[in-house]
Structure 1
Amino acid sequence: MRITVRTPLGPRRPDRRTADVELAERLARRRRRFDAAPTEAGFGFPVLAALVPVATSRGGEVAYPGDPMSLYAALTLTIQRSVERLHAGLPAEPSLDDVYPCWGDYPDDDYRRAADGPRPGLIADNPTTDGHVFDPRIWDDLAKEQFVAELRALQPKAVLLSSVSAGHRYALEMAELAKTHSPDCVVVIGGRHADETVRYAPGDHSLDLSWSSTVEVIRDGRSPRVVDFVVAGDGAPGLDLLMQALALVQEPGFGPNRVADVAEALELVAATKEDLTGSFTVVSLAEDEILVHPVRGRRLSSAELPSPYRPFAIRARFGIFTAAGSSALGSRTAHMLTLDACPFKCTFCSESIQISQRPTRFAVTETEHAADRLMQMIDWGAEAAFFDDPVFWGGNWKAISAFCTDFQARRAQRPGDAPFEWGAQLTVDVVLNRAKADEVAAGLDLMREAGCSYIYIGIESMAQRVMAHVGKNLTRRNPEAWVSKVREALGTIKSHGIRVGSSVLFGLDGENRETIEETIEEIGRLIDDGLLIMASPNILTYHPGTAITAQHGQNRLDYHSRKDNRPPFTYFEEAYPEVVSRLLTEDDIWYIHQAADKRWGNIRNSDTESLSEALS
């Protein structure tokens, strides 16, 4: 199939009046058709969203350490539009929102307080927005049976799949099941895998598709054509626009639709928007042509978007937080972002600003908005919170301090509230900013006073020869050896009364058995000295678009074949034989698993806890 990149869609221009006229005529015709032959469901069509799992083996109980925030965030605008339409009813005059995806209504407080762990029952029987997400965590025979049961009962018109790269093989299988058991549905894939593999360059109006992208996998026949649309970039406005386009082409009875018709409707709807928002790319995989629709609208800040938890209950429990004492699995933990891309340029990281070039964030002047949102989560049942920012507030200590002050002020107004604690991620060099030592010290004190009980830091390696190649935030202001810097940073955080956990990454440039042994031993010493309460061993897996993937010549990553994984790879998050670091042998991976388990003891985190990063 040939690929055609369409003209970029931006803010509305005066010469688009013909689009206004055409849309008005189509809306009038659609209203007449639905008025003449209303369906049992009226003007709303059923939809289903799903988090694509990253693992195939249960290995014991699977708790809920992290809610699927990427999916939740992407659904906020289309759900908000749907709920507003549900409450407002049919407008007097034909409207773009006459026909709409039916997400149900927002959950009430009783529902939120009762929600915990996996969602019970069928989506078709749940009238809330929270109930319209399929979230299995593990992709095995039981999950497949449950997914098929959901499809058969609901017969969704749209199936929306959110996937990281490691889950892409399961996303394709879920898409195939959707097409089999709900044949009239449109399948949409988004999430980090789409962001990593679909890259539109506005400068020269070109498209870069990774070999492992959904589009290329289908185009060259490695997968059947079971996906209709891929959305990369700002998921919330992109998905909202696509759902409006899908609604525009509906006929009473909600039968099948041609992908080309939905694609044409998408361009028409975008052309008539007074305020087109978001930067995203929609790829439509029609029967005989692939169309690329770049949209470059007004940039949105996090404060403009609804809270990702507005439609959903807080179900996660994170064992690192225990102050609430509500469960042996840990406190009910909300996940939150102030910034969804890392400002630094680590060679291995798929969250780097180089991958997500237009991050959605709270501005450093919007700390009050973030504090208000966190208070709202407390009202919705959160007993703890974890900020999944790659670096909390981008490492800006003024913003960190302002947020803590704002949050403390709000907590002080409600002295009867239950205990609440939170955690965040920082880097070694952000903590050891010598030029702002006083600001750092004051910021850490404010974090503790505002309820921060835990900081997570990516140590990556304790071998100097490995860290020399990483490109981590190694500032020239801090030229000391990495091992001593790590020890000092952890000691600094601990001296301010905050616990520290870490991630360790094996397989970076310069890695060999000697550096593996060095890292395992040095991490062990940090544990012995009480500087770490948790250490998470990880294996480098190549992500499309990262610097290390290009440097290692891994431009053909198999994230599509449906192969059974096996030990020792299954002991590590997202690790598959075809995509792990070429510098590690299978024997090395066995050694890392066994040696870390022996040296670090129960400070090594469980498989359940390590799953949280992928879900967030």
Structure 2
Amino acid sequence: MRTTVRTPLEPKGPEAAEGGGTLTELVVRRRRMFEAHPGRARFTYPVMAALVPVATSRGGEVAYPGDPMCLYSALTLTIQRSVARLHARLPKEPSLDDVCPDWGDYPDEEYRRTANGPRSTLVADSRTTDGHVFDPRIWDEAARERFIAELRALRPKVLLLSAVSAAHRYALDMAGLAKEHAPHCVVVIGGRHADETIRYRDADGTAEFSWSSTVEVVRDGRAGQVVDFVVAGDGAPLLDLLLRAVSLTVPPGFGPTDNAAVLDALPLVAGAEETLRGSGTIVGFCPGEAVVVPVRGERLSSIELPSPYEAFSIRARFGVFAEAGSHPLGSRTAHMMTLDSCPFKCTFCSESIQVSQRPTRFAVSETEHVARRVRRLMDWGAEAAFFDDPVFWGGNWKAITEFCRDLRAQGTDLPGGGSFEWGAQLTVDVVLNRAKAEEVRTGLELMRSSGCTYIYIGIESMAESVMAHVGKNLLRRNPEAWVSKVREALTSIRGHGIRVGSSVLFGLDGECRETIEETIEEIGRLIDDELLVMASPNILTYHPGTAITAAHGQDRLDYHSRKDNRPPYSYFEEAYPEVVSRLLTEDDIWYIHKSAAERWGTVRNSAAEAAT
């Protein structure tokens, strides 16, 4: 299968829009075709989105809490357009958006306050935007059968799959099922795996795909041609652009879709807008050809995008928050982000700015807007919130303190009584910023007074010989030994009345059985001293594009073969024999699993700590 790279779609003013006559002819012709087609909903077509799971079993340890925020965020603009079209009804004159995906309508206030936990209604039976997501969390036989039932009941014209790298093998499985049980379904894959494996170089106009990317896997026959489009980059605007192109070309009755026609429609849709939004890459599969369409529109900031929860109910419960006392599995928890990529350069991290290269964020001057969003989530039933930023507000203490003041001004009393609580992620060196010691102290005080009860910190390793290679946010002006800094940071946070949880990562450069033993013991001492309330052991898995993946020569990662996992790998999130650190033997992984459980006791994170 050959690859063709088209001319990038770039911002154009209305005076520069091309193809206007062609677009007008298309929308007029399409209006006539659909008006002649019988059926009450003849100008909409069924659509479903799915969060692809990362595991086939919990293995007794896998914890995967949280709402699928990457997927929710990517759907915001296409849902916003669809709902607006639903309320406006069909315009008098033919228009670009005559035909649109049927996402239903936004949930009402009662629905938002009461709908939580796993969805129980078929997408085909739901009239809310919230009901159009399939979110199984585990890909086992029961989930597979539920997914098939969804496909048969809805017969989606479009299926949108969001996958991280560890989920990619199951995304291909789900795509194959869609083609089998809804044969005319257009399958679109996006998410972090797509972002990590597709690169377009503006300098020479060429596209580069990692060996594990969906594009390469389909191109060289390692997977069947069950995917129609892959979207990488700014998910929300690019997905909106793609679905408008699908809507422009989809036939009445929603039979087979011509992918080439969809690709040809992309510049027509882009040229119809005063401003092209979003930057990234759309890849479409045609017979014998993978067509790359770079999109170079204007980047959107977080404040320009709707809240991810605008269309969805808050369904997650997080065991670390329990002050509301509403459920044994924890408080109903909203997940938010002020920044979606990390400003630091850890060698192992797929969220690093070196890998994502496209941060979407709130400006430090927009703290009041974020606080208002949090207040709105409380009104919708959130009892807690966790900020999934790799580093909260990018580690900017001025923004952190302003946000806390703004949140206090909004009020943290819950509608049903009790107080709202929240948590965030920081780093050791952000907490120990000597140059801003007073600002840090004030920030931690304000965090606690505004309801922050929990901070999550990536400790990674307690072995100096390992941390010397990590490239973590190690401030040169703060050169103390890592073990001492970890203890000091945790002591400072606990001194402000905030609990601390941590992630520990085994398999980094310099790792051996001696450093594994050292880390397990040192973390145990932090637990003994009540500085940690939760410790999560993880095994390094290679992500496409990270520095450690390149350094270890892991350029062919098997994230496509459909294999059931097995212990001890299944005791750790995203760990499969083919992609874990080459520095760890299977015996090492068994040792980590058993020794951490024995030394850390109940403080070790497990599936019982989290709930879907």
TM-score, reference length from structure 1? 0.97
Look up the match of 2:353: 353
Q: For residue 5 of structure 1, what is the amino acid of its counterpart?
A: V
> How many angstroms apart in 2 are the aligned matches of 1:300 and 1:102?
25
Give matches, 1:7-18, under 5 Å.
7-12=7-12, 16-18=16-18
Checking the alignment, whether the CA contact within 8 Å between 2:129 and 2:311 is kept in structure 1 is yes
Identity of aligned residues (%): 73
> How many angstroms apart in 1 are the aligned matches of 2:62 and 2:513?
32
> How many angstroms apart in 1 are the aligned matches of 2:395 and 2:521?
29
> How many angstroms apart in 2 are the aligned matches of 1:72 and 1:454?
24
Checking the alignment, whether the CA contact within 8 Å between 2:230 and 2:282 is kept in structure 1 is yes
Cα distance 1:264–1:546, how it changes in 2: closer, same or farther (>3 A)? same
Q: For residue 122 of structure 2, what is the amino acid of its counterpart?
A: L
Look up the match of 1:154: 154
Look up the match of 2:495: 495
> How many angstroms apart in 2 are the aligned matches of 1:400 and 1:177?
46
Q: Deviations over 1:357-407 (max 9, x none)?
A: 121110111111111111111111000000000000000000000111111
Look up the match of 1:385: 385
Cα distance 1:455–1:472, how it changes in 2: closer, same or farther (>3 A)? same
Give matches, 1:32-181, under 5 Å.
32-59=32-59, 65-181=65-181
Look up the match of 2:329: 329
Q: For residue 147 of structure 1, what is the amino acid of its counterpart?
A: F
How far did residue 611 of structure 1 move?
A: 8.8
How far did residue 200 of structure 1 move?
A: 1.3
Which SS does the other structure have where 2:90 is aligned?
Answer: coil
Look up the match of 2:436: 436
Cα distance 1:15–1:202, how it changes in 2: closer, same or farther (>3 A)? farther
Which SS does the other structure have where 2:160 is aligned?
Answer: strand
Q: Deviations over 1:114-145 (max 9, x none)?
A: 21211012110011001000000110111110
Moved more, 414-423 or 233-242: 414-423
> How many angstroms apart in 2 are the aligned matches of 1:573 and 1:324?
28
Look up the match of 2:521: 521
How far did residue 341 of structure 1 move?
A: 0.2
Cα distance 1:555–1:608, how it changes in 2: closer, same or farther (>3 A)? farther
Which SS does the other structure have where 1:269 is aligned?
Answer: helix
How far did residue 609 of structure 1 move?
A: 4.7
Poorly superposed stretches of 4+, deviation over 6 Å: 60-64, 412-416
> How many angstroms apart in 1 are the aligned matches of 2:555 and 2:413?
54
Q: Deviations over 1:558-598 (max 9, x none)?
A: 00001111000000000000000000000000000000000
Q: For residue 387 of structure 2, what is the amino acid of its counterpart?
A: F
Q: Deviations over 1:458-487 (max 9, x none)?
A: 000000000000000001011000000000
Look up the match of 2:595: 595
Q: For residue 338 of structure 2, what is the amino acid of its counterpart?
A: T
Which SS does the other structure have where 1:567 is aligned?
Answer: coil
Look up the match of 1:449: 449
Look up the match of 2:247: 247
Checking the alignment, whether the CA contact within 8 Å between 1:63 and 1:329 is kept in structure 2 is no
Which SS does the other structure have where 1:45 is aligned?
Answer: strand
Which SS does the other structure have where 1:42 is aligned?
Answer: coil
Give matches, 1:290-439, under 5 Å.
290-411=290-411, 418-439=418-439
RMSD of aligned residue pairs (Cα, Å): 1.6
Look up the match of 1:543: 543
Checking the alignment, whether the CA contact within 8 Å between 1:573 and 1:610 is kept in structure 2 is no
Which SS does the other structure have where 2:494 is aligned?
Answer: helix
How far did residue 286 of structure 1 move?
A: 1.1
**Structure 1 residue runs without a partner (length 5+):** none
Q: For residue 299 of structure 1, what is the amino acid of its counterpart?
A: R
Look up the match of 1:231: 231
How far did residue 495 of structure 1 move?
A: 0.8
How far did residue 64 of structure 1 move?
A: 7.2
Cα distance 1:14–1:37, how it changes in 2: closer, same or farther (>3 A)? closer
> How many angstroms apart in 2 are the aligned matches of 1:580 and 1:61?
17
> How many angstroms apart in 2 are the aligned matches of 1:81 and 1:56?
35
> How many angstroms apart in 1 are the aligned matches of 2:480 and 2:581?
28
How far did residue 296 of structure 1 move?
A: 1.1
> How many angstroms apart in 1 are the aligned matches of 2:47 and 2:361?
28
How far did residue 37 of structure 1 move?
A: 2.0
Checking the alignment, whether the CA contact within 8 Å between 2:47 and 2:132 is kept in structure 1 is yes
> How many angstroms apart in 2 are the aligned matches of 1:212 and 1:339?
27
Checking the alignment, whether the CA contact within 8 Å between 1:151 and 1:178 is kept in structure 2 is yes
Moved more, 592-601 or 368-377: 368-377
> How many angstroms apart in 2 are the aligned matches of 1:608 and 1:266?
46
Q: Deviations over 1:86-140 (max 9, x none)?
A: 1110011111110000000111122122212110121100110010000001101
Look up the match of 1:462: 462
Checking the alignment, whether the CA contact within 8 Å between 2:162 and 2:190 is kept in structure 1 is yes
Checking the alignment, whether the CA contact within 8 Å between 2:329 and 2:611 is kept in structure 1 is no
Which SS does the other structure have where 1:385 is aligned?
Answer: strand
Q: For residue 39 of structure 1, what is the amino acid of its counterpart?
A: G
> How many angstroms apart in 1 are the aligned matches of 2:412 and 2:157?
47
Look up the match of 1:265: 265
Cα distance 1:129–1:416, how it changes in 2: closer, same or farther (>3 A)? closer
Give matches, 1:189-228, under 5 Å.
189-228=189-228
Report how many residues are paired: 612
Q: For residue 143 of structure 1, what is the amino acid of its counterpart?
A: A
Cα distance 1:8–1:19, how it changes in 2: closer, same or farther (>3 A)? same
> How many angstroms apart in 2 are the aligned matches of 1:510 and 1:61?
26
Q: For residue 501 of structure 2, what is the amino acid of its counterpart?
A: G
Q: For residue 366 of structure 1, what is the amino acid of its counterpart?
A: E
> How many angstroms apart in 2 are the aligned matches of 1:416 and 1:325?
12
> How many angstroms apart in 2 are the aligned matches of 1:93 and 1:119?
39
TM-score, reference length from structure 2? 0.98
